[in-house]
Amino acid sequence: MDDLKKKNKVVGFKESTRAMKNKEVRKLIIAKDAQPHIVEPLLRQAEEESIEVLRVETMKQLGRKCGISLNAAVVALIKDAVNEN
């Protein structure tokens, strides 16, 4: 997985949910140890909208990859206005 510190992204459930509703997400990254009731709604929506989902082992690892000192259950990579990949 690329270094997420420099990617256009939102971190966390609320921000990821908002981005999903606005059709801005190109990829979701979810920690395997995240609580299912937190990530299940996002996983369902990602499947419905054919959004790629990647998994990382832990929330701590995902937070660290994003350059934050907190754990992160979910990160949504945002579509680029010029290139949506």
Q: Which CATH class is domain 4-78?
A: alpha beta
Q: How far apart are CA 34 and CA 81, in angstroms?
A: 30
Domain positions in the chain: 4-78
Give the pLDDT confidence score for residue 4 in this predicted structure: 72
Residues with Cβ within 8 Å of 61's Cβ and at least 6 positions away in sequence, in order, are: 31
Q: Taking a C-beta distance cutoff of 8 angstroms, is the pair 52, 28 a contact?
A: yes
Q: How far apart are CA 1 and CA 20, in angstroms?
A: 21
- C-alpha torsion angle, residues 85, 77, 61, 47 (rounded to 10): -90
The pTM of the full predicted model, rounded to 2 decimals, is 0.85
In tens, the pLDDT along 35-56 reads 999 899 999 999 999 999 999 9
Q: Taking a C-beta distance cutoff of 8 angstroms, is the pair 1, 30 a contact?
A: no
